[in-house]
């Protein structure tokens, strides 16, 4: 017999109540209620959002530059989560997987208990995975400097695609050193190549901005 025809015909008010477990748990709620197709869609969406969060630390620079797209996707996911919070119980009831109201309500309580477990597991996994990703940078701060310099080079090439990598890096490293001592005389040389100048400007601003505002750093740089 088809599931749709096996579902009870009555349209009780309890199936139209807001479900916090559906809103907060999304794919966990779906799997707990045997809504596997819908659950897989939410899970895939969830994994994509998390991948975008980890992408910059994995060295995937093309993903690191689409922060606005990631923010948009998070809003879309929030919208679907609200929709599931409103319609989730109705979808489950009408699917016919639970034959009585008592069985249905018992499974909703079970799904609600899974949500805190899900968030605790997610928190632990996030802390461990971020710890593993950040461990090399914590142990070797030069790797972080290299990462920032690489991102600065990518940004600089947007306005000047002909930038020379070695000259940019040379200027960046000297700019980092000068930026740490904002009151000291700068070693910036105005007649150096544009690649060197770009690198120096980025390095100086990054280093100086750790203790000062970017506006102060840029003003000092342009003196």
CB environment 150-178: b (16+ within 10 A), e (fewer): ebbbeebeeeeeebeeebbbbbbebbbeb
pLDDT in tens, 173-218: 888 788 877 776 777 666 677 888 888 888 888 778 777 777 777 7
Residue 125 and residue 100 share a domain: yes
- From 105, 139, 173, the end of a domain falls on 139
| Domain count within the chain | 2
Comparison of pLDDT for 48 and 82, the residue scoring more: 82
Residue 111 and residue 59 share a domain: yes
Residue 132 and residue 192 share a domain: no
Domain that holds residue 193: 141-221
Residue 114 and residue 9 share a domain: yes
Residue 160 and residue 76 share a domain: no
Residue 123 and residue 110 share a domain: yes
Residue 89 and residue 29 share a domain: yes
Q: Which long-range contacts (CB under 8 A, 24 or more apart) does 23-26 make?
A: 23/81, 23/82, 23/84, 23/85, 23/88, 24/81, 24/115, 24/119, 25/111, 25/114, 25/115, 25/118, 26/80, 26/81, 26/84
Q: How many residues does the chain have?
A: 223
% of the chain at pLDDT higher than 90:
23
Ramachandran assignment for 59, one of left (phi > 0), alpha (psi -120 to 50 degrees), beta (any other): left
pLDDT in tens, 136-156: 656 665 555 667 777 777 777
Whether 91 shows a pLDDT value over 70: the answer reads yes
- From 139, 174, 191, the end of a domain falls on 139
Residue 173 and residue 71 share a domain: no
- From 119, 139, 159, the end of a domain falls on 139
Residue 131 and residue 204 share a domain: no
What's residue 58's pLDDT? Answer: 53
pLDDT in tens, 9-40: 455 777 888 999 999 999 999 999 999 999 99
Assessment of whether the complete model's pTM goes beyond 0.75? no
């Amino acid at each position: 017999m088809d599931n749709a025809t096996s579902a009870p015909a009555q349209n009780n008010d309890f199936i139209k109540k807001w479900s916090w477990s559906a809103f907060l748990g999304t794919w966990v709620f779906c799997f707990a209620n045997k809504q596997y197709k819908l659950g897989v869609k939410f899970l895939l969406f969830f994994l994509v959002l998390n991948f975008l969060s980890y992408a910059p630390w994995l060295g995937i620079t093309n993903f690191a530059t689409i922060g606005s797209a990631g923010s948009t996707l998070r809003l879309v996911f929030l919208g679907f989560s609200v929709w599931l919070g409103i319609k989730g119980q109705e979808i489950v009831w009408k699917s016919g997987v639970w034959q009585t109201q008592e069985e249905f309500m018992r499974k909703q309580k079970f799904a609600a208990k899974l949500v805190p477990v899900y968030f605790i597991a997610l928190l632990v996994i996030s802390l461990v995975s971020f710890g593993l990703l950040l461990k090399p940078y914590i142990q070797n701060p030069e790797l972080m400097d290299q990462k920032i310099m690489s991102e600065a080079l990518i940004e600089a090439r947007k306005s000047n695609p002909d930038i020379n990598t070695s000259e940019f890096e040379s200027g960046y490293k000297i700019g980092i050193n000068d930026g740490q001592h904002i009151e000291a005389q700068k070693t910036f040389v105005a007649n150096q190549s544009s690649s060197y100048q770009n690198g120096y400007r980025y390095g100086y601003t990054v280093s100086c901005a750790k203790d000062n505002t970017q506006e102060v750093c840029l003003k000092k740089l342009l003196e």
